[in-house]
Amino acid sequence: MSKYSLFLLRHGEGAWNKENRFCSWVDQKLSEDGVKEAQDCGRLLKELGYKFDLVFTSILSRSIQTAWLVLEAMGQEWVPVVKSWRLNERHYGSLIGLNRAEMALQHGEEKVKLWRRSYDIAPPPIDESHPYFLEIYNDRRYTTCDVPKENLPRAESLKEVLDRLLPYWDSTVVPEIRKGRTVLIAAHGNSCRALLKHLEGISDEDIASVTLPTGIPVLLELDENLKPVKPRQLLGDQVKIQAAIKKVEDQGKAKPTT
């Protein structure tokens, strides 16, 4: 029997999602379509009668902006929003800024799929010669983390995302859920996938086929031990959701040259 409701949300489309580039820890705002996705998500949740008590986001603008737009559309702007780097997107290392389809053309679709979707394979790490290194590590937001800046990741597998996310989940998010509060986690494709893997007990192999489209809320109904009592529900028009999932999966495919 369901005791708690938890909502996961991958942020609306970002500017680099639109360009099919690995965005990761580079701070990007939502695209025009991403703003609309977040607003539509909020309107849907309001129509379905949901009310949030607390929202958790990463410290990246596209995640925070999504949370704000959702709450505004729901008429719940007053709901507290708590931010942590531990909900950040997976760190894609030296791949940051590169186009996924071009990488698939150069390295093969399977290699790109491994970098994007595998559980325990990390991409090559970022170093100081990378064009976005200073933009990330000189950003003041990373002086606010609960680890020294020099200990922040330089690249991550999905396993490493889960490793840095779980302590925050256990210490900060779980106590709020156990108080009976309805929580929204507005984060990123990979931080949400990592959490789904943990909650649903998804195998290392099967997590590669779990795709979360942007701006689609995921409802998890949990028992007293925070285990799902039914399959996750992607809320909204199911035909549109399947089309959005295919769009995400196609991002890693090589486009034929003309």
The helices-and-strands tally (H runs, E runs) of the chain is 10, 6
117 is in an annotated binding site: yes
Q: Is 25 annotated as a binding residue?
A: no
Return d(Cα 155, Cα 212) in angstroms, integer: 21
Determine if residue 141 is labeled as part of a ligand binding site: no
150 annotated binding-site participant: no
The answer to the question of whether 92 is labelled as a binding residue is: yes
**Annotated binding residue at 252?**
no
Contacts of 236 (CB under 8 A, 6+ apart): 41, 44, 216, 217
Q: Distances in Å between the alpha carbon of 134 and those of 25, 127, 137?
A: 11, 10, 5
Just list the catalytic residues.
Answer: 11, 89
- Binding residue per annotation — 16? yes
Token pair in block for residue 132: 């976005």
Element (H, E) at 116: helix 109-117
Torsion angle of alpha carbons 12, 152, 94, 133, nearest 10°? Answer: 90
Q: Is 90 annotated as a binding residue?
A: yes
Binding residues, by number, are 10-17, 62, 89-92, 116-117, 189-190
Binding residues for substrate: 10-17, 62, 89-92, 116-117, 189-190
